[in-house]
Amino acid sequence: MTGVPADTAPSRRRLHWLDGLWPWLCAASVALSLLMLGALLTLLLVRGLGHFWPATLEEVTLRSGETFAGQAVREVALPQQPGDERLYFTGNRDIESVRWRWVAIDDIAMQAQPMDLIRLERSPWDDFIGRLVAIEQHDQRWEGDAAWQQLTSLLALPVSQRPDSQLLLITASGQAVQQPLANVVSAQAPNAMTWRQKTLAWSQSVWRFLSEGPRAANTGGGVWPAIFGTVLMVILMSVIVTPFGVLAAIYLNEIAHQGRLTRFVRIGVRNLAGVPSIVYGVFGLGVFVYGIGGSLDEWFFSETLPSPTFGTGGLLWASLTLALLTLPVVIVATEEGLARIPEAQREGAVALGATRLEMLTRIVLPMAAPAMLTGMILAIARAAGEVAPLMLVGVAKLAPQMPVDGEFPYLHLERKFMHLGYHLFDTAFHGDDVQAAIPLVYATALLLVLIVLVLNLTAIFLRHYLRRQRGSEC
C-alpha cells in the first residue's frame, strides 16, 4: 500500500491553498492599480475642468461693516481656536493689491449673491469682480442693462474691430474704476446665468485655454504653444530614435556574432535604460549644445557671434537628447520581437534563393514591425513626460517665436520651445500666485496625460493593424 508520507501532506495542503490564493492576489493588485488610476484621472478632471466653470460670486459684509465681493474657494479649520475660515478670490489686484482673502466664518455678518455682480478677465491685470455702471464710447453712453448688452456685443467682435470704449466700474466696497475695453478678454455675470449659458461659457473658456498663449506669469491664458512644442518634439524624437534603435537591434540579433562581446553590449544597453534622465540632459548640453552647436556657429553663423544660433538650447538638441534617452527602450523591444520570429522563417527564405538582405527586409522586419511600434510606444510614453533634461537643452518658460512659421525654412530647429511638462513645473513652483496656479496645474496635468494617451493609442492601433496584416505577434 502506497500513500503520501504523513510529514509531507500538510506542506502539500499549504501549497494547494497558496495556489488558490495567488490568482486572487493578482486580481486584487490589478483592481487596486485601476482604482488608483481612476482616482487620479477623476481628481484631474474635477479640479482641472472645474476651474473653467463660471463660479457663483458672493457679496460679503463683515461685522466690522466692510464689504467685498469674491468667489468662495474652500474652508479650513482655524488653527488652535474654534471655528472655520473661508478663502475668497476677490481679484482687483490693481485696485486692492491683493486678490485672495481669508475670512473667519464668525466675522461674516451677511452674505448675498446679487445678480448684477460681474467678473471681467483682463490683460495684463487679473480678474475684476464688481459691478458695471456704464460704457462710454465717444459721445455715447450706456447704463444699466443696456451697458451689459453693449459690452457682450463688443466682446463678440474681433479685437481689431472693437471701438475705443471705456468701462465705468465700481467695486463692492464702492471704489470707482475706469477700465479700457481693449484690455478686457471676457466678461461674465455668473449669478444671472442659466445652466445652458454656464455650459457655453465653460466650453469657451476651455477652448481659450487650448488655443491661446499664456499670460500673467503662466497663471492665466492658455497653453497652445506648450501643446504644439510637446507634440512636435515627440514626433521629431520618434523620427530620430526609431531608425537608430531598429538598426542597432538588427545588428545585435541578426548580424553580430553571439559571443561574449555581444552579451556585454546587451547588458550595457539595458543598463542605459536605468540612467537618470538628468544625466542625459548634461550629456546633451555638453555634446550637442556646446560641442556640435558651438562648432556649427563657428563654421556657418560666425557673423552672429557672440549671440549663438545653434550653440544654445533648442528644439533639435532637445529631440536628440530624448532620442538618446529612449534609444535603449527601442533597441530592447525590437530585439525581443526579432528573437521571437521562428528561425524557420529565415531558413525558408534563404532556401528559396533570397539574399540575406532580402530575407531581412521582406520577411523579418515586416514580422517584427509590431515590436518596433511597441518600442516606439514606450519611448513616447517616457519622453513626453520628461522635464529634467529639457531644462538644460532647450525648453523655455515663454517662447517668443514658435518653431514652425511661414518663413523659410519653416521648421526652425534652433529655436527654443515650450513644453507641457515644464509649463506644469513652472506654474506650480515658480509662479507669484500659488493659489491661482493650482487649478491650472491640474488642467495642464490632465492635458499632458491626454496627449500621451492619444499618441500611444495612435501607435497601438497601428501596431494592431500590422499584427492583423502580418499575422505576427509582438
Residue 3 pLDDT > 60, yes or no?
no
pLDDT of residue 1: 45
CATH code for the domain in which residue 295 is found: 1.10.3720.10
Rounded to whole angstroms, the Cα distance separating 82 from 235 reads: 56
Rounded to whole angstroms, the Cα distance separating 193 from 50 reads: 17
pLDDT in tens, 304-356: 888 888 888 889 999 999 999 999 999 998 998 888 888 888 888 888 888 88
Residue 196 pLDDT > 90, yes or no?
yes
On average, the pLDDT of the chain sits at 86
Please name the helix (run of DSSP H) or strand (run of DSSP E) that holds residue 152, with its range, or none.
Answer: helix 144-155
Rounded to whole angstroms, the Cα distance separating 327 from 334 reads: 11
pLDDT of residue 13: 60
pLDDT in tens, 441-455: 899 999 988 888 888
Domain count for the chain: 3
> Of 138-142, 232-236, 458-462, where does mean pLDDT reach its minimum?
458-462
Query: To which residue does cell 556657418 refer?
Result: 300
Residue 230 pLDDT > 80, yes or no?
yes
The last residue of one of the domains, among 67, 92, 112, is: 112
Answer whether residue 171 is part of any domain: yes
Regarding whether 124 and 103 lie in a shared domain, the answer is no
Residue 392 pLDDT > 80, yes or no?
yes
Q: Taking the alpha carbons of 42, 43, 48, 52 in that order, is the dihedral positive or negative?
A: positive
Answer whether residue 11 is part of any domain: no
Answer whether residue 25 is part of any domain: no
Rounded to whole angstroms, the Cα distance separating 34 from 42 reads: 12
Regarding whether 176 and 64 lie in a shared domain, the answer is no
Lateral strand order in the sheet of 108-112: 100-104, 84-89, 67-77, 58-62, 108-112
Answer whether residue 200 is part of any domain: no
Question: pLDDT-based confidence at 285, cuts 50/70/90?
Answer: very high
Residue 42 pLDDT > 80, yes or no?
yes
Answer whether residue 209 is part of any domain: no
Beta strands in 33-82 (DSSP E): 58-62, 67-77
- In DSSP terms, 462 is beta-bridged to none
pLDDT in tens, 396-419: 888 878 888 888 888 888 889 999
Residue 10 pLDDT > 70, yes or no?
no
Regarding whether 184 and 232 lie in a shared domain, the answer is no
Residue 217 pLDDT > 70, yes or no?
no
| Residue scoring higher pLDDT (412 or 80) | 412
Angle at which helices 420-429 and 224-250 pack, to 10 degrees? 130
The last residue of one of the domains, among 149, 173, 192, is: 192
Question: pLDDT-based confidence at 256, cuts 50/70/90?
Answer: confident
Answer whether residue 302 is part of any domain: yes
Regarding whether 442 and 342 lie in a shared domain, the answer is yes
CA distances in angstroms from 175 to 68, 72, 96, 181, 421, listed in the order given: 11, 21, 10, 19, 41
Residue 291 pLDDT > 80, yes or no?
yes
Question: pLDDT-based confidence at 160, cuts 50/70/90?
Answer: confident
Regarding whether 362 and 409 lie in a shared domain, the answer is yes
Regarding whether 157 and 252 lie in a shared domain, the answer is no
Rounded to whole angstroms, the Cα distance separating 334 from 315 reads: 27
The last residue of one of the domains, among 112, 133, 150, is: 112
Rounded to whole angstroms, the Cα distance separating 155 from 140 reads: 17
Answer whether residue 47 is part of any domain: no
Regarding whether 92 and 128 lie in a shared domain, the answer is no
Q: Retrieve residue 395's grid coordinates.
A: 525648453
Question: pLDDT-based confidence at 473, cuts 50/70/90?
Answer: very low
Reported residue count of the chain is 474
pLDDT in tens, 99-137: 899 999 989 999 999 999 999 988 877 889 999 999 998
Rounded to whole angstroms, the Cα distance separating 474 from 467 reads: 8
> Of 41-50, 170-179, 379-388, where does mean pLDDT reach its minimum?
379-388
pLDDT of residue 346: 85
pTM for this structure? 0.84
Answer whether residue 412 is part of any domain: yes
Regarding whether 465 and 338 lie in a shared domain, the answer is yes
Domain that holds residue 303: 224-470
DSSP sequence for 395-440: B-SS-SS-SB-SSTTSB-TTS-B--HHHHHHHHHHS-S-HHHHHHH
Regarding whether 93 and 126 lie in a shared domain, the answer is no
- Long-range CB contacts (< 8 A, 24+ apart) of 433-441? 433/99, 433/100, 433/217, 433/219, 435/73, 435/87, 435/89, 435/100, 436/89, 436/99, 436/126, 436/219, 436/220, 437/218, 437/219, 438/47, 439/47, 439/48, 439/50, 439/51, 440/51, 440/218, 440/219
Rounded to whole angstroms, the Cα distance separating 120 from 130 reads: 9
Regarding whether 400 and 274 lie in a shared domain, the answer is yes
Regarding whether 406 and 308 lie in a shared domain, the answer is yes
Regarding whether 410 and 311 lie in a shared domain, the answer is yes
Rounded to whole angstroms, the Cα distance separating 331 from 378 reads: 11
pLDDT in tens, 262-275: 889 889 988 888 88
